[in-house]
Amino acid sequence: MAEDREILREIWEGRLPVCFTLATEEVSTPIAPDPFYLMVPRLTYFPLVTDKVRRHFVRCVVPEKHDNEMWLEFERHPLKWHYPIGLLYDLFVTNSELPWQITVHFDKYPDNKLLKCPSKDVVESHLMHSLKEADALKHKNHIMALMQERDHKQLWLGLLHDRFDQFWSANRKLMEHSAEDGFRYIPFRLYVPQLTSKPFVQYLVKPVENEKKLVVEDLLQRANLNFESKGPFQVVIHGIDIPLETPLQWISEHLSYPDNFLHLCIRYSPT
């Protein structure tokens, strides 16, 4: 993978400009606070980059709400903090509008739609759980089990502090495989809200079968969903329209999120 390091770095450095605005009904000061603008990494999670957002707005809500957990919303969709930021954008923003307009709340936390996230430790636990799940698919969990605690910390601190080299010094071990067969299975989640009520679809897909390298189109064919029924579509990850002939092993190695999953969104052309 060394020769593809530039691709890994380009993906890592993907950013989204976001405009955060406090929900109008929660403003308790005579003058509403200014919006807060932030350039956020696509690969990270909102709780890791929104401390400044909280400090900016919390002074403008009633004192009894100051200790409430902050949550975010876009066009009436509460944003799941345990989804990477880039995935949330690819999932909900269909017109590529920038900056991304997000509403900030300190009241009426939607417990039925969002997990609680009282601290960054919860994000770390979520990341480690996802990495173990991905490694179970790729290597029967052998790599994560053999990694030392400091390797786990490298992964977490690399993501937390946006340090590419620190993260990949450990993550490259999770991308090792035999040259002929690749991973056991490809860790992926397919997001198709137009066709299913499930939050995402996943199933077992090998990167190589009968000495044939499987591609994105093969993955879609096994979903048992009629993608064409809603019209022309794209498969999007990191804002990139992925050609259907792209080998699964290659995109798993190069385009997976830090949790080692491919988070693939099916995007239809606006009608």
**pLDDT tens for residues 218-234?**
999 999 899 998 899 99
Q: What is the mean pLDDT of residues 188-217?
A: 95
Residue 178's alpha-carbon distances to 52, 135, 139, 182, in angstroms, are 44, 15, 11, 5
Residue 1 has pLDDT above 70, yes or no: no
Give the number of other Cβ atoms within 10 Å of residue 162's Cβ: 16
69-116: pLDDT as tens digits: 999 999 999 999 999 999 999 999 988 889 999 999 999 999 999 999
Each residue's pLDDT tens digit, 175-186: 998 777 899 999
- Sequence-ordered list of residues with C-beta below 8 angstroms from that of 109, at least 6 positions apart, any chain: 68, 69, 71, 116
The fraction of the chain above a pLDDT of 90, given in percent, is: 89
b/e string for 99-134 if b means 16 or more Cβ within 10 A? ebebbbbbeeeeeeebeebeeeeebbebbeebbbbb
pLDDT of residue 269: 81
Bridge pairing between strands 188-191 and 36-41: unpaired
What domains appear along the chain, each with residue ranges and CATH number? 14-105 (3.10.20.620), 120-175 (1.10.246.190), 188-268 (3.10.20.90)
In angstroms, the CA 136 to CA 198 distance is: 23
Q: Looking at residue 96, what is its pLDDT?
A: 81
Measured CA to CA, the distance from residue 253 to residue 216 in angstroms comes to 14
The pLDDT assigned to 2 comes to 45
Query: What is the reported pLDDT for 3?
Result: 52
Q: What is the pLDDT of residue 94?
A: 83
* pTM for the structure as a whole: 0.95
- Strand, helix or coil at 168? helix
* Residue 271 pLDDT: 63
